Structure 1
Amino acid sequence: MSAELVIGPVLRRVAGTRATIWVETSAPATVRVTAGPAAGEATTFSAYGHHYAIVVVEGLTLDSATEYEVFVDDARVWPQPDSPYPPSVIRTRSGDDADQPVRLVFGSCRETTQHATPRQLPPDALDAYSRRLMTGADPAPDLLVLLGDQVYADIPSPAVKRFLRRRRGHEKHKPDNQVVSYEEYTQLYLESWCDPEIRWLFATVPSVMIFDDHEIIDDWNSSASWRRDVREQPWWPERIASGLASYWVYQHLGNLDPDQIAADPVYQKVLASADDATEVLRDFATEVDKEADGAPGYQWSYALDLGRTRLVVLDNRCSRVLDPDHRAMLPPGEWAWFAELARGDFDHLVVGSSLPWLLPPGIHHLEAWNERLAGSARPWVSRFAERQRRVLDLEHWAAFQRSFDSLAALFAEVGSSGAASISVLSGDVHHSYVARAAFRARPVAAPVHQLTCSPVHNQLQSLMRPVLRLGWWRGPATVARALARAAKVAAPTVRWKKLAGPYFGNAVSTLTHDGHTARVLIEGTTTGGDLREVAAVDLAPRTARVRRRRPVGR
Structure 2
Amino acid sequence: MALVLGPVLRHVSATSALVWVQTEHAADVEILGCRARTFEVHGCHFALVVVDGLTPDSITPYEVAVDGTVQWPEPDTGFPPSVIRTRGPRSADRNRIVFGSCRFPRTDDPKLDAELGVDALDSYAARLAGLPHDQWPDALLLLGDQVYADELTPHARRNLTGRRSTGSTTTGSTGDRPEDEVVSFDEYAGLYRHTWGDPEIRWILSTVPTAMIFDDHDIRDDWNTSAAWREQINREPWWRERIRAGLVSYWVYQHIGNLTPATLAADPEYQAVIAADGDCWDQLVDLADRADTEVDGRKGLRFSFRWDLGRGRLIMVDSRNGRVFADGKRKMLSDNEFDWLDEQMHERPEDVDHLMIGSSLPWLLPPVLGDAETVNEIAAERPGIRGRIAENIRQAADLEHWQAFGHSFERLTSLIRDLADRSSPAPATITVLSGDVHHSYAARVDFPAPVQSAVYQLVCSPVHNKVPAYVKPMFIAGWSSWVARMTRRWARYRGAAALPMTWTKVNGPIFGNTIATLDLSGPSARAIFEQPDDDGELTTASDIALTKSTMPAPTTEAATG
**Does 2:73 align with 1:112?**
no
- Of the candidates 49, 67, 74, which is equivalent to residue 73 of structure 1? 67
**Which blocks of at least 5 consecutive residues in structure 1 are unaligned?**
545-554
**Does 2:143 align with 1:147?**
yes
**Does 2:365 align with 1:359?**
yes
Cα drift, residue 304 of structure 1: 1.3
Residues 366 and 541 from structure 1, CA distance in 2 versus in 1: closer, same or farther, beyond 3 angstroms?
Answer: closer
Cα drift, residue 181 of structure 1: 0.4
Q: 1 CA distance for matches of 2:176 and 2:486?
A: 45
Residues 180 and 350 from structure 1, CA distance in 2 versus in 1: closer, same or farther, beyond 3 angstroms?
Answer: same
One-letter amino acid of the structure 1 residue matched with residue 262 of structure 2: D
- Of the candidates 272, 288, 292, which is equivalent to residue 289 of structure 1? 292
The worse-fitting range, judged by mean Cα deviation, of 136-145 and 532-541 is 136-145
**Does 2:4 align with 1:6?**
yes
Cα drift, residue 298 of structure 1: 0.6
Q: 2 CA distance for matches of 1:518 and 1:28?
A: 46
1:166 aligns to what SS in structure 2?
Answer: coil
Aligned to 1:42: 36
5 Å-filtered alignment, 1:359-398, equals: 359-376=365-382, 378-398=383-403
5 Å-filtered alignment, 1:70-469, equals: 70-95=64-89, 97-99=91-93, 101-113=94-106, 115=108, 118=112, 120-136=115-131, 139-170=135-166, 171-291=174-294, 294=297, 296-323=299-326, 325-344=328-347, 345=349, 346-376=352-382, 378-417=383-422, 418-440=426-448, 442-469=449-476
Cα drift, residue 295 of structure 1: 5.6
Cα drift, residue 287 of structure 1: 2.2
The question of whether the paired residues in 2 share the 8 Å contact of 1:114 and 1:123 is answered with: no
2:76 aligns to what SS in structure 1?
Answer: coil
The question of whether the paired residues in 2 share the 8 Å contact of 1:505 and 1:525 is answered with: no
Q: 1 CA distance for matches of 2:396 and 2:523?
A: 43
The question of whether the paired residues in 1 share the 8 Å contact of 2:298 and 2:335 is answered with: no
Cα drift, residue 114 of structure 1: 5.1
2:17 aligns to what SS in structure 1?
Answer: strand
One-letter amino acid of the structure 2 residue matched with residue 113 of structure 1: R
Which string of whole-angstrom CA distances, capped at 9 and with x for unpartnered residues, describes residues 284-319 of structure 1?
112210138846511100001111111000001112
Cα drift, residue 142 of structure 1: 0.5
Cα drift, residue 431 of structure 1: 0.3
One-letter amino acid of the structure 2 residue matched with residue 357 of structure 1: W
The question of whether the paired residues in 2 share the 8 Å contact of 1:516 and 1:541 is answered with: no
One-letter amino acid of the structure 2 residue matched with residue 371 of structure 1: E
Aligned to 1:536: 543
Which string of whole-angstrom CA distances, capped at 9 and with x for unpartnered residues, describes residues 265-292 of structure 1?
2112212324110101112112210138
The question of whether the paired residues in 2 share the 8 Å contact of 1:361 and 1:477 is answered with: yes
Q: 2 CA distance for matches of 1:432 and 1:399?
A: 20
Cα drift, residue 69 of structure 1: 0.8
RMSD after superposition: 1.6
Which string of whole-angstrom CA distances, capped at 9 and with x for unpartnered residues, describes residues 153-210 of structure 1?
0001111111112211142211110000000001111011110000000011010000
Cα drift, residue 523 of structure 1: 0.3
- Of the candidates 28, 31, 56, which is equivalent to residue 30 of structure 1? 28
Q: 1 CA distance for matches of 2:483 and 2:161?
A: 46
1:8 aligns to what SS in structure 2?
Answer: strand
Cα drift, residue 542 of structure 1: 4.8
Residues 524 and 292 from structure 1, CA distance in 2 versus in 1: closer, same or farther, beyond 3 angstroms?
Answer: farther
Q: 2 CA distance for matches of 1:32 and 1:388?
A: 52
Cα drift, residue 321 of structure 1: 1.7
Q: TM-score, normalised by structure 2?
A: 0.93
The worse-fitting range, judged by mean Cα deviation, of 198-207 and 259-268 is 259-268
Q: TM-score, normalised by structure 1?
A: 0.94
